[in-house]
Chain A
Amino acid sequence: MKILTTLKRIPDPEQKLKFKGSGPSQTLDLSGANWVPNQFDEYAVEAALRLTENASAGNARLGEVIVASIGPKDVSQQLRAALAMGADRAILVDGKDEDLDAEMVARTIVALVQREKPDLLLMGKLAADSEDNQAGQLAAAYLGWPQATFAATIEAVEGGKALHVSREVDNGVETKRVALPAVVTVDLRIILPQAVKNGTTKPDFAYAEGPRYASLKGIMAAKKKPIEETTMQALGVQSKLRVKTTALEAPPPRKAGIKVGSVAELVDKLKNEAKVL
């Protein structure tokens, strides 16, 4: 199976965001940001590796995993980390977040899909910074492919011609069949020990939970793996911004609360002060 995965770098969600400027010209100050891989994307890389290896036979490779990112040159750091996990090669498309929207990202991914012809486009369900939750679905529609978003488990079925994907839906978990090629976006549970079954790894095999750590061997090997640098123009992406950010601000802070000394005091406050009981 050949899989294209995508990886976005985002400011560390645990870091407090800084703003600069004021009023209508206020923007985020990301100059001191600590950039980390979007966790959902990291999980997608892990799922892609699980789909393309025989974990019952020393992780023998069964397919190819390409990891692509749009961003400045620095993103090669995050791509190199994905290569160290085991991805086979990487593509870095030059771009700046502030010049992009979900539409342009999706069009770029579609151009990469048309060039690479993978069996599966595997992505994180959303980028935890912009939180649009659009690119995978847009790409699926542009490609005319089926989509399975918010995947909790992925199982190769029908001799690898299709996937059964269990999806986190509003009222439980839905299992959906998608014929390949398809788009799958992953949710957090995809890194549980038995979340991915590729039909070759023994079905009772249990992975260690979480995205794998790069081994020393993996890190060494990653240094020799190619990162292709390209541009949206070279890929033939002709797309214009459709959604523009015109202003941003910090949300109003919640007013400071109080600590109560006992459950009785708590219930008293809820009843007589907050009036919610």
Chain B
Amino acid sequence: MGNVLIFVEHAEGHVRTASLPAVTFGKQAASHHGGQLYLLLVGANVKSAAAEAAQLGAAGVLTVEDAGLGHYLAETYAPLVARVAKDKGATLVGGTATNLGKDLLPRVTALLDAGMASDVSAVLGAKQFKRPMQAGNVLTQIEVLTDVVVASVRQTEFAPAQPGGAAAPIEAVPAGALDAKGAAFVSLSTTKSERPELTDAKVVVSGGRGMREGANFKPLEEIADLLGGAMGASRAACDAGMVPNDLQVGQTGKVVAPQLYIAVAISGAIQHLAGMKGSKVIVAINKDPEAPIFQVADYGLVGTWEKSLPELKAEIEKRKAEQR
């Protein structure tokens, strides 16, 4: 048996919260593999994020730093991950199934001649995992038959690793020559938000096609802010250009599992349900009493958003005032 290597994403000097569940997964996998857990950070400047990662309970943190690695490219990152995995005797390589992880990890799989388990929701053994498919309507158990296993991890299914204990040693690994194979980063347009990240917010307030236009998301935003939550949206709302696509919740967007999910004017297409069915409490507000979203909602309110949202905001404000 061998070691476990988890690829850890970072941004602006911090470990991305999206990567913390993958560290937890790595600890579980390491116990099955009978080896040590190592964390790998790659980038142009990873020192402060690596120091954070060293607190997460791994046996060691590895860093690959190079000015040419400032922008993620699967072409340059994948060979580094594969090389470090080999050097460290890893029999399992993993990371969170973020868009980056989904882009990177299969490429690593190919370079390691491995088999890959996608979107793992539970660890059953060294090479046995549980994963959802068919938009969350089937849970499968799979076995990877290769010596080395690669796995991407469903973020909502593992608790985020917490810092604590002794700091693990940090080892710098040389990047060597980089070959982008004709790929290059051109630009990134990001949507800055003061709200928590969609995938780790305690509350998510989502709007759907029935919101009709982007300006109508304002009352949803106000409720999200009142509850300290994040904004989400259905694919229909994103496709119609009402809100940026990175708010999309569903099979083709992000998978979320907050304490409270409020779906407003969302009919509840299967592909949307796939992204939010794991939420602890689901509230649906829809004017159509037959909307499929009511089948998964713990609390359903039949009504228009125009009438319900101002009432909801006022009611939450009232309760908050009472608490004080």
Contacts and interface: CB of A to CB of B under 8 A. Distances in A.
Contacts of B105: 137
A135 B106 CA distance: 8
B137 A251 contact: yes
Contact of A147 (B74, B115, B251, B316): B74
B69 interface: no
A257 B286 CA distance: 15
A242 B144 contact: yes
A13 B135 contact: yes
Contacts of A179: 181-183
B251 A243 contact: no
Contacts of A164: 186
A170 interface: yes
Nearest to A140: B107
Interface string A83-115: 000000000000000000111001000000000
A240 B102 CA distance: 23
Contacts of B187: 174-175
A13 B315 contact: no
A242 B185 CA distance: 32
A119 interface: no
Interface in B167-211: 180-191, 203
B141 A245 contact: yes
A277 B280 CA distance: 13
B281 A276 contact: yes
Interface in B272-324: 277, 280-283, 289, 294, 296-303, 308, 311-312, 315-316, 319
Nearest to A182: B182
Interface in A227-277: 240-251, 254, 257-260, 262-264, 266-267, 269-271, 274, 276-277
Interface residues on B, range: 35 or more
Most buried by B among A17, A132, A249, A269: A132
Interface in B258-284: 259-260, 270-271, 277, 280-283
B115 A242 contact: yes
Contact of B133 (A106, A129, A170, A258): A129
Most buried by A among B111, B252, B302: B252
Nearest to A263: B311
Given A144-B181, A147-B183, A175-B188, A264 B300 contact: no
Given A13-B135, A17-B137, A179-B182, A137 B188 contact: no
Given A189-B239, A244-B142, A149 B246 contact: no
A152 B182 CA distance: 20
B51 interface: no
A170 B100 contact: yes
B6 interface: no
Interface of B: 11, 18, 73-75, 78, 98-100, 102-103, 105-107, 109-111, 114-119, 128, 132-146, 180-191, 203, 227, 235, 239, 244-246, 251-252, 259-260, 270-271, 277, 280-283, 289, 294, 296-303, 308, 311-312, 315-316, 319
Given A141-B110, A251-B137, A257-B294, 11 more contacts: A133-B102, A137-B105, A137-B106, A140-B107, A171-B190, A175-B185, A176-B73, A242-B114, A257-B282, A266-B299, A269-B299
15 contacts: A137-B107, A141-B106, A174-B187, A175-B185, A177-B186, A182-B182, A188-B252, A192-B239, A242-B146, A248-B141, A263-B311, A267-B316, A270-B283, A274-B260, A276-B260
Interface of A: 11, 13-14, 17, 28, 101-103, 106, 125, 128-138, 140-142, 144-150, 152, 162, 164, 167-180, 182, 187-189, 192, 240-251, 254, 257-260, 262-264, 266-267, 269-271, 274, 276-277
